[in-house]
Amino acid sequence: MPTVLVLDFDGTMTDAEAEGRPFRDGYLDDLAALTGRAAGDPEIAAIADQVEAELLAAPASHPFLWMGRAVAPATVDPYLRMVPIAHRILDTYGAIPGAADRGRLLGSVLYKYNYAKTLGRPVFREGAGDVLRALGGTESWIVTNSDTHAVAGKVAALDREAPGVAWLTSRVRGQARKFDVDDSWDGVAAELALPGLDRPVLLRRRSYFEILKTIVEAAGASFADLVVVGDIFELDLAMPLSLGARVGLVASDRTPGYERAFVESHARGRLITDLSQIPGFAFG
């Protein structure tokens, strides 16, 4: 059966820290306005810096919460980090106390509005173009939480820098909702325990599973033939690993140590320190 490779994109093929700077800056300005402060207020910036330092120092203690549940470490990329930052800022100034209103504001309105500010200036990891070009002719796909057309546009922009990657623009599957946990679905075990993490990793990400299943079945393959590469173990890799896939964790200096250690020790895991390792890991 053919090997099927699924890549995450933002933070995996891109430099999320550099690319996410306009997102972070714009989001903080919006939070300043919501709390009656001026854009660029130093107190708002100081709160954001303090929360980021806390997350980096103890990633296991600071999860990203979705619908009241811990679904990922908050420290790994600027998009996830902004949620605990926003809560701290709103709490500090007593703004928008209702949980439902906050959830809609942070998870939809402010995220989408400020994510759009990153689209005109994608910043790719070193070697991204070479890797995607090398994958031509393989069963490779991109599955992302981001919008399908936005990520396809980034691939098209990369093709202008590194011609030969445009074939992937039609192989982007967005809105994967990797953070959604569906307890009613029993297609995989409910939880996975990771040494060094005192909460379980929740595995029942049904929306994400359905996208992977469609891709795998269309190739005439199974989850045992699937390789998934991403930068956040809990979002991108845990569920497919539990279903038999091989997984590659693209590491950065913000990758939690417990994720690194677990992937390195697993027989079907690989720590990716350079994107050039991906083709060999998947198809070698």
Q: Which CATH class for the 4-16+122-283 domain?
A: alpha beta
Give the Cα separation of 15 and 118 in Å (integer).
Answer: 12
Angle between helices 21-34 and 42-57 (to 10 degrees): 120
* pLDDT score, position 96: 94
* pLDDT score, position 163: 96
* pLDDT score, position 223: 98
- Residues lower than pLDDT 50 in the chain: none
* pLDDT score, position 32: 97
* pLDDT score, position 1: 80
**What is residue 72's three-state secondary structure?**
strand
Residue 12 corresponds to which amino acid? T
CA separation (Å) from 190 to 73, 140, 184, 195? 18, 28, 10, 17
pTM above 0.85, yes or no: yes
CA separation (Å) from 72 to 30, 90, 179, 196, 272? 24, 22, 8, 14, 19
Phi, psi of 4 (to 5 degrees): -115, 125
Q: Give the CA angle between residues 131, 133, 135 to the nearest 5°.
A: 75
User: Domain extents for the chain?
Assistant: 4-16+122-283, 17-118
